[in-house]
Amino acid sequence: MSGARIGVFDSGVGGLTVLAALRRRLPTAQLLYVADSAHAPYGERSNDYVLARSRALTRFLLAEGAQAVVVACNTATALAIETLRRDWPDVPFVGIEPAVKPALADSASVAVLATPATLASARFGALLAAHGGARAPRLQPCPGLADAIEREGAHAPRTRELVAELCTPLRGCTRIVLGCTHYPLVADAIRAALGAVELLDPADAVAEQTARVTSVLGAAAPGPALRCWSSGDMRRLQRVAHDCGLGDVAAEPLPSGAPQPPAPQ
């Protein structure tokens, strides 16, 4: 079982759903997590902005001793992971992408909830072309949803209203692909809007792939089992971490010296 030190980053607190899956699958790993909440949501940023921020967070995690990096953000995976792999060819990177392949394995009526940037990306287009065939799923861009979850909270009335609004065109679908790591945090609101639908969250698959790629790494030097940083509100990170089953975690501010992205376009 891997005792590696694994870095994980997301545009905000959504990646904590992936972090919880990693903790369950790799209980002896040392996990380093960055919530880039001050720059969220990535799904409504330019490609260059997301790439610059992804590089900055990767540099930070590697400087903290990460031996592998999990990009726990669908948008950052879609827009940046191939560049990260070229920039750091000796570092194993694991990304996350919507679970389109298993969703389309039978005759279920499928919809994909994702950020506009994820749905518009070449990577998602290739995924859909490879597995969609004649049964293309309904694609529902969700502008503002990750931001609402991040800033107002998953259970806030405005967040739940937005979920209901975005789900209205999807009535009749029986399987929903959660294409952003923030969306499992509003699973109950999605079910309230759509009824007894099946929700596909790829977090466990990411944890399995991480276990595979880190199994060949040596154990890291002794260190804390979990360290968390945020470029935004530390209390929000702690609250969501607790809700994800990670217990009471300490949170640190992301150092101000961490490289900054270009100005938003």
Q: Which residues are catalytic?
A: 73, 180
Residue 237: Cβ-neighbour burial (10 angstroms; 0-12, 13-18, 19+): buried
Residue 9 backbone phi and psi in degrees, to 5: -140, 155
| Secondary structure (3-state) at 175 | strand
Residues 149-158: b if buried by 16+ CB within 10 A, e if exposed:
bbbebbeeee
What are the structure tokens assigned to 182, written together?
Answer: 């923030």
The CA distance from 70 to 143, in Å, is: 24
How many C-beta atoms surround the C-beta of residue 2 within 10 A?
24
How many C-beta atoms surround the C-beta of residue 50 within 10 A?
24
- Length of the chain equals 265
